[in-house]
Structure 1
Amino acid sequence: IHLLPTPTPHRSLEMEDLAGAIRDLAALSTRLLLQLSGDGEKRNLAISPLSIHSVVVLLAAGATGDTLDQIVSFLGLSGGAAHAALASEVATLVFGRDAGVEPHIRCAVGVWVESSLRLRPAYADKVASEFKAAVRAMPFRENVEEARVEINRWFEDKTEGFIKDLMPEGHLDATLTALVIGNLLYMRGTWLDPFDPEYTLDGDFFLADADGSRVRVPFMKSTNDQCISCHPGFKVLQLHYESKVGAGGNHRFSMHIYLPDERDGLQALLREISSSGTAEFVARCVPAARGVEVGNLRIPKFKVSSKMDARDVLQGLGLELPFRFTHDWSEMIELAEPEPPLRVQNVLHECVVEVDEDGTMAAAATEADCDVGFSLYGEEPARVDFVADHPFLFLLRDADFYSSG
């Protein structure tokens, strides 16, 4: 689930910086996918780089020194200020949407601090005003399990029940947990051209195995013209969501499905996307608005769910210092003198995407908790087939984000 904006030229320096941050975020998306898919484990995978990005940016807002420098380097060449502006722009965009705007999109940010401690006023003001974060005191020391359940309920309620029990029992430590930072995204979109359930039939989906393994899954079918672009080695299908415009709703969202020609071609496609520059690759492969005649169109009806400890993934991509005890978090939280060091202990990430004949429902959540260093007690052909019966890549894209100016 990635509401991937389109980077386009803008006159003002600020908008150029935002476009650069968007390109960085697109590149981060591919880096995360390559890191996760390179472990040899065969599984369906759903992630939200946008949710992870939000939490990393909130961490950067309270970091200093080498830790801040490494976070900014990890985010990309545009710099920390550009990424903070991007995260703020996304939050403002989502919060500015009317209730009746379609697709329905929700973004929320939460910061929970141990009730006996205080956030630095500048940090508290920044996360609330720029990132629309709800800041709350939480009795981690007195009742850590009650605090965990309450935070989990926040994620569950705001994702319409898609994200449940993000943090497992025992995840937080009554004596060490000082702070929890969370982000969630939720989307409910209806296809502009829905599929007819009467034509949904089971068929073989081929796995990326040498022995040609397959599983039976329901396939949605359509004979209507479709937005498809064909490229050497792969095709791209664009499925538009219904759009009801209101305040904050002048955005066109769509799902893009990248289908390799070869059944085992997904990993090679990911590498091509990465080497070409993710944002540029995506923009270059957007199908033309005029639909093409379709011969055979089959898209699996599916629900994909992934939950992971993203700490190892982030460390594998070079983000290491935030997970070591350091005093570089002094701009985030007030601690008694002599101030103990802090570190990010865990980064949990969960993403759920459900696609059916009507549309898409998706949710993602990311949580980072910080521990103190000691106990707190001190381009189209004439006709195209598009049969997604083997591994493919999909993303959710906003065609109009930053397209004016």
Structure 2
Amino acid sequence: MNIIGQLRDLKMIFSLAYIPMITFILQMVVGGIDGATSGLGHTKDLQKLSKSHFEFSIDLYRQTALHQSSGNIVMSPFAANLGVALMFLGSSSNTNTSTELRHCLHAENIPYVELHKSFKKIINILKDPYYSKHEFTNDIRIFLQKGVGIKSQYLRAVREFYQSQVDEIDFGASGSGNIRRKINSWMKETSGGNFEELLQKDPDVDTRLVLASYTSMKPRWLYPFDPKKTSYNGLFFLPGGERLQVAMMSGQFQVPVGYSEQLTSRLLELPLLERRMSMFLILPDTVEPGIATLESTITTHFVKELRATLKTEVVNVRLPKFKIEKTVEFVNVLDDLGVSQVLDPTQADLENMVDKNILHLSSFKHRAEIEITEGGNPDEEIKTEATSVGILRQKFFEVDHPFVYFIWDYYTGTILLIGRVIQPITV
């Protein structure tokens, strides 16, 4: 008999008469993946989640871009994915809350057990030393109202599957500064001291649950740019006719490049170390309407079609150096994606999380940072892939106006970072 079918009503999973579903999953998974690298041979198991994650990522970016109509963007769809999954883990089955969260995750065809096991595998893979070469950091924490009675099964599942924790806070003490200090203290520790002001002030007194996450990365190229060829007089054109003087890297590489007539945009894939990850650049044909049209029409279908046009060529690449640091509130974005029940104090059902079912997701604060420089492997001498090709056979990909980018991890099938560059800023 189907396991999920046996425990269809997760409202009963904590009763003595039934084996708790979360406990059951833990029993199935414990010992299955012991080390950070042991998940590397299981990427086929992640195909379902990867497909769902890709849909979720593009949806999330499109809605975030609508909310932030100007300025640079950086965020981690994977971090947002984890936050929604943690709420789904705590929701009761066959409720509107659970249904909306599953739909947002595009996980209708992924069994409950398999979904959380897949996230566990991805998180374990991301602990591999390879990612430290890119200075990759990703963490998420749940802060909820003190005294609601956190269920031990939920705490254990959060630790086992998501390597995270749940902290209790008295949100009723809003105004004392203690809430802000506690959450910011976690952020400071997680970011290694790089950032600590996730909250500028205490949240409202009616706050019940806050998700906080941090993602940072400094990608390292498979084919580094030569710093000697970086021009600090490069031009970058903005909507409205303004132009900026930027630090423009340049290099000639044999890399995949493509074009989409539907998106009226070009695509460039720049591989990172060992070709395990790549940075994709989507460059509109024009400055105006340019990126505005791209973001309003971007879908998973268009992105897949664009990727299908990729063909390896010798390409002269010019790309500005940039560093983007942003804090994003995901609650309004999730609401636009159809997740409303878990945000509503009168409708949210998180009975699998706590004894007193009075919680709702009040805030989901996400901090993300990315820095793009010339560098490759920090442990090796910089070397570029120089190719001698006649001028008539060469292609040029000059990133001299606003563009969209994302970091794709082939090993986990996830987008670790995505965003747009309107003004390349270096720090």
Q: Distance in 1 between matches of 2:188 and 2:270?
A: 28
In structure 2, do the counterparts of structure 1 residues 41 and 183 end up closer, same or farther at CA, with 3 Å as the change threshold?
closer
- The match for 2:353 is 332
Unaligned residue ranges in structure 2 (runs of 5+): 1-41, 379-391, 415-427
In structure 2, do the counterparts of structure 1 residues 129 and 47 end up closer, same or farther at CA, with 3 Å as the change threshold?
same
Q: Distance in 1 between matches of 2:97 and 2:210?
A: 18
Q: Residues 218 and 370 of structure 2 are in contact (CA less than 8 Å); yes or no, is this contact kept in structure 1?
A: no
Please show how residues 47-196 of structure 1 align to structure 2 within 5 Å: 47-64=75-92, 65-76=95-106, 77-79=108-110, 81=112, 82-95=114-127, 97-98=128-129, 102-138=133-169, 140=171, 145-171=177-203, 173=205, 176-196=206-226
Matching residue within 321, 340, 346 for 2:341: 321
Matching residue within 377, 399, 411 for 1:388: 399
The question of 1:226 aligning with 2:246 is answered no
Instruction: State the secondary structure of the residue aligned to 2:137.
Output: strand
Q: Distance in 2 between matches of 1:45 and 1:355?
A: 14
Instruction: State the secondary structure of the residue aligned to 1:153.
Output: helix
Q: Distance in 2 between matches of 1:349 and 1:302?
A: 20
Identity fraction in percent: 22
| Aligned-pair CA distance for 1:52 | 0.8
Q: Which structure's residues are more often helix, by fraction?
A: 2
Q: Residues 73 and 326 of structure 2 are in contact (CA less than 8 Å); yes or no, is this contact kept in structure 1?
A: yes
Alignment coverage as a number of residue pairs: 349
Query: Which whole-Å deviations, capped at 9, do the CAs of 1:14-42 have from their partners, x for residues lacking one?
Result: 956x3232222212222222223335832
Q: Distance in 2 between matches of 1:30 and 1:99?
A: 26
The letter of the residue matching 1:122 is Q
Q: Which structure's residues are more often strand, by fraction?
A: 1
> What TM-score do the two structures reach when normalised by structure 2?
0.72
Please show how residues 321-360 of structure 1 align to structure 2 within 5 Å: 321-325=341-345, 326=347, 328-335=349-356, 341-358=358-375
Q: Distance in 2 between matches of 1:242 and 1:111?
A: 33
> Over aligned residues, Cα RMSD in angstroms?
3.2
The question of 1:276 aligning with 2:301 is answered yes
- The match for 2:57 is 29
Q: Residues 155 and 164 of structure 1 are in contact (CA less than 8 Å); yes or no, is this contact kept in structure 2?
A: yes
Q: Residues 88 and 101 of structure 2 are in contact (CA less than 8 Å); yes or no, is this contact kept in structure 1?
A: yes
The question of 1:215 aligning with 2:244 is answered yes
| Aligned-pair CA distance for 1:177 | 4.4
> What TM-score do the two structures reach when normalised by structure 1?
0.75
- The list of structure 1 runs, each at least 4 consecutive aligned residues, that deviate by more than 6 angstroms after superposition, is none
Q: Distance in 1 between matches of 2:359 and 2:144?
A: 13
Instruction: State the secondary structure of the residue aligned to 1:231.
Output: strand
Q: Distance in 2 between matches of 1:198 and 1:98?
A: 30
Query: Which whole-Å deviations, capped at 9, do the CAs of 1:138-177 have from their partners, x for residues lacking one?
Result: 455568633432322222322234443112212253xx44
| Aligned-pair CA distance for 1:72 | 0.7
- The match for 1:254 is 278
Please show how residues 302-317 of structure 1 align to structure 2 within 5 Å: 302-317=322-337
| Aligned-pair CA distance for 1:99 | 7.9
Query: Which whole-Å deviations, capped at 9, do the CAs of 1:251-289 have from their partners, x for residues lacking one?
Result: 7122111222222333444456406264x346525554x
Unaligned residue ranges in structure 1 (runs of 5+): 1-11, 244-250, 362-380
| Aligned-pair CA distance for 1:328 | 1.2
Q: Residues 63 and 331 of structure 1 are in contact (CA less than 8 Å); yes or no, is this contact kept in structure 2?
A: yes
- The match for 1:365 is none
Q: Distance in 2 between matches of 1:267 and 1:360?
A: 35
The letter of the residue matching 2:104 is F
| Aligned-pair CA distance for 1:304 | 1.9
Q: Distance in 1 between matches of 2:111 and 2:83?
A: 13
In structure 2, do the counterparts of structure 1 residues 37 and 138 end up closer, same or farther at CA, with 3 Å as the change threshold?
closer
In structure 2, do the counterparts of structure 1 residues 275 and 137 end up closer, same or farther at CA, with 3 Å as the change threshold?
closer
